[in-house]
Amino acid sequence: MPLDKKTLLEAVKAAKEKSGKKKFNQTVDLILNIKEIDMKAPEGKIQEVVELPRAPAKLNKVCVIASGEFALKAKRANADNVVERADLDALAGKKKDLRKLATTYDVFISEVPLMSLVGKILGPVLGPRGKMPIPVPPNADIAAIIERNRKTIVVRMRNQPLIQCSIGTENQPDEELVENIQTVLRVLDGKLKRGLKNIDEVFIKTSMGEPVKIKP
């Protein structure tokens, strides 16, 4: 499978050409069909948080679950939302509000002392979406953690041998998108049993465009 920089650049250019003119900045997705993998084994349940070297124009919205001083630090660090202990308790059993929270924010961060409560109240809606909160100690540098997670993606494979993730937006330079693709591939090379040899097909597509297949 030719996944060198030149081949990836050509695929990204072609995907942009096939995207059509839209009134919004489309995302660019990397789609991988995986072969020769046991979906019932741990290797078939990949879920990795990957920090992209080139931040997309649309950064992740971060929600921090915290209390006291840690909550104040999160607010000062411009978290998109801070859910405090009382707010968390008030959400219990409110399915509509919980679903709205889960869909509004891309990344959830929780201070460790609240994780058991978070798991009980938010787990049922965040778990299936692959958005379970990142646990951090109360003395962590929350500003740095928020900044880092604004440009992360979740590379996930569950139930079927397929991985699809957004690696940027169409207004980003082609070279930046390729850097992000290569970062994802490096992570998978260390997670898949046979590395990149487990990748059967590779596609690049914009959110509303036709997929471009990288031929073996």
pLDDT tens for residues 105-130?
Answer: 999 999 999 999 999 999 999 999 88
Could you give the CA distance from residue 165 to residue 154 in angstroms, rounded to a whole number? Answer: 7
Which tens digits make up the pLDDT trace of 30-54?
999 999 988 888 878 888 989 999 9
The residue among 149, 182, 203 that closes a domain is 149
Same domain as 201, residue 141: no
CB proximity list for 51: less than 8 A, separation 6 or greater: 148, 149, 151, 152, 183
124 and 171 belong to one structural domain = no
Q: Is 77 exposed, middle or buried (0-12, 13-18, 19+ CB in 10 A)?
A: middle
Same domain for 188 and 117: no
Determine what percent of the chain falls in helix, strand and coil, rounding each to the nearest 5: 40, 25, 35
pLDDT of 175 over the 60 cut:
yes
CATH number assigned to the domain comprising residue 23: 3.30.190.20
Residues 91 and 120 placed together within one structural domain of the fold: yes
pLDDT range class, residue 24, cuts 50, 70, 90: confident
Confidence (pLDDT) at 72: 96
Tokens of 80: 């998109």
Classify the phi-psi angles of 36: left when phi > 0, otherwise alpha if psi is within -120 to 50, otherwise beta: left
Is 169 in the same domain as 200?
yes
Provide the number of structural domains found in the chain.
Answer: 2
pTM: 0.80
Please give the Cα distance from 208 to 164 (Å, whole number).
15
Range of the domain at 72: 62-149
Q: How far apart are the first and last CA of the chain?
A: 5
Q: What would the mean pLDDT of 134-140 be, rounded to a whole number? A: 94
126 and 161 in a single domain? The answer is no
Distance CA 145, CA 22 (A): 34
In the predicted model, what is the mean pLDDT of residues 172-180?
95
Last residue of a domain, one of 127, 149, 171: 149
CA 1 to chain CA mean position, Å: 25
Other C-beta atoms within 10 Å of 29: how many? Answer: 18
Confidence of residue 2 (pLDDT cuts 50, 70, 90): low
Looking at 93, 126, 149, the residue that finishes a domain is 149
CATH number at residue 124: 3.40.50.790
The pLDDT > 70 percentage for the chain reads 98
